């Protein structure tokens, strides 16, 4: 696989933040999530908070919000970005071992996190941990990539195939279901910004696509995936 996600997550916070800010142009995906998930007045845990985009957007809806990430640099960036957002606590920790008591949260949310955990045994441990910290009537909400759209077209084929297989694994082995499919887009200020960010993360295939089409807007199909704590077991 030619994509550079591990490097971006650990060392290239600015590149990741450019990618994150461009994602979900117009907030269509977020609006749909908020219409499905009961975050208002609830205790929420975000897994893999990155540079804090969804903290800013979801934390004001919640009663309390805990954001974790395995990258200390991401945590530091998100803390600065969200310093004026109330009721947020940050934890730097491994996704497979949360320093959090069981049954602590009404909702767990993660955007494009589980697909990045390898091998399968590590994903199983991580999902078990996320379910452990949910209250008995809690709910787990995920964003993952769907098939189709320019974003998946410009990716390394092996990486795109991995995403599809991971979604299948979550549904077949972990009791998740697809709550909705949303057609949204990345929107960069200019095509050169799209090329700089997407090319760095995804590699030459993405760079060549953006050069050819001179696009600053890149279509992105996203799955909203859900599981109640005791559903499907």
**For the chain, which residues make up each domain, given as ranges?**
5-226
> In 59-119, which ranges are continuous DSSP H helix?
72-81
Which bin fits 131, alpha (ψ -120 to 50), beta or left (φ > 0)? alpha
Q: Cβ distance 179 to 146 under 8 Å?
A: no
Give the per-residue pLDDT at 181: 98
| 225-229: average pLDDT | 97
Q: Cβ distance 88 to 55 under 8 Å?
A: yes
| 3-14: average pLDDT | 92
* Nearest of 216, 222, 143 to residue 186 by alpha carbon: 216
> pLDDT tens digit string along 32-88?
999 999 999 999 999 999 999 999 999 999 999 999 999 999 999 999 999 999 889
Give the per-residue pLDDT at 232: 47
Residues 6+ apart with CB under 8 A from 54: 30, 46, 109, 111
Give the per-residue pLDDT at 123: 93
Give the per-residue pLDDT at 168: 95
Q: What angle do CA 113, 140, 222 make, to 5 degrees?
A: 55
- C-alpha distances (whole Å) from 198 to each of 22, 87, 116, 169, 193 are 11, 33, 17, 27, 8
Structure tokens at 147: 């098939």
Give the per-residue pLDDT at 1: 61
Averaged confidence pLDDT in the chain: 94
Question: Percent helix, strand and coil across the chain, each rounded to 5?
Answer: 45, 25, 30
- C-alpha distances (whole Å) from 53 to each of 2, 38, 111, 115, 166 are 26, 19, 10, 19, 24
Q: What percent of the chain has pLDDT over 90?
A: 89
- Write down the residue that tokens 């704590």 correspond to: 229
Q: What angle do CA 38, 39, 44 make, to 5 degrees?
A: 130
CA distance 25 to 142: 18
Give the per-residue pLDDT at 118: 85
Give the per-residue pLDDT at 231: 72
Q: Cβ distance 93 to 70 under 8 Å?
A: yes
Q: Using pLDDT thresholds of 50, 70 and 90, give the confidence band for residue 95.
A: confident
pTM for this entry: 0.94
What is the third-level CATH fold of 5-226?
A: Rossmann fold (3.40.50)
Q: Cβ distance 15 to 199 under 8 Å?
A: no
What are the CB-based long-range contacts (under 8 Å, 24+) for 117-121?
120/169
> pLDDT tens digit string along 117-172?
888 899 999 999 999 999 999 999 999 999 999 999 999 999 999 999 999 999 99
* Nearest of 214, 211, 223 to residue 168 by alpha carbon: 223
* Nearest of 106, 109, 105, 71 to residue 91 by alpha carbon: 71
Q: Using pLDDT thresholds of 50, 70 and 90, give the confidence band for residue 215.
A: confident
Give the per-residue pLDDT at 233: 45
pLDDT at 222 over 50: yes
pLDDT at 202 over 50: yes
């Amino acid at each position: 696989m030619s994509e550079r996600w591990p490097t971006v997550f650990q060392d290239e916070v600015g590149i990741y933040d450019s990618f994150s800010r461009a994602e979900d142009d117009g907030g269509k995906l977020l609006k749909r999530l908020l219409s499905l998930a009961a975050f208002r007045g609830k205790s929420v845990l975000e897994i893999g908070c990155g540079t804090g985009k969804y903290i800013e957007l979801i934390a004001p809806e919640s009663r309390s919000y805990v954001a974790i990430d395995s990258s200390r640099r991401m945590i530091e960036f998100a803390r600065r970005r969200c310093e004026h957002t109330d009721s947020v606590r940050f934890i730097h920790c491994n996704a497979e071992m949360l320093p959090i008591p069981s049954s602590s949260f009404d909702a767990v949310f993660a955007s494009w996190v589980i697909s990045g955990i390898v091998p399968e045994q590590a994903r199983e441990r991580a999902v078990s941990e996320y379910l452990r910290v949910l209250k008995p009537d809690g709910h787990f909400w995920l964003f993952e990539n769907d098939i189709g759209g320019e974003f998946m077209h410009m990716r390394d084929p092996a990486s795109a195939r991995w995403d599809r297989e991971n979604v299948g694994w979550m549904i077949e082995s972990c009791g998740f279901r697809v709550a909705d499919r949303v057609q949204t887009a990345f929107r960069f200020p200019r095509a050169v910004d799209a090329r700089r960010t997407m090319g760095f993360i995804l590699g030459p295939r993405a760079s060549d696509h953006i050069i050819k089409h001179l696009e600053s807007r890149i279509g992105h199909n996203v799955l909203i995936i859900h599981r109640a704590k005791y559903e499907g077991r």
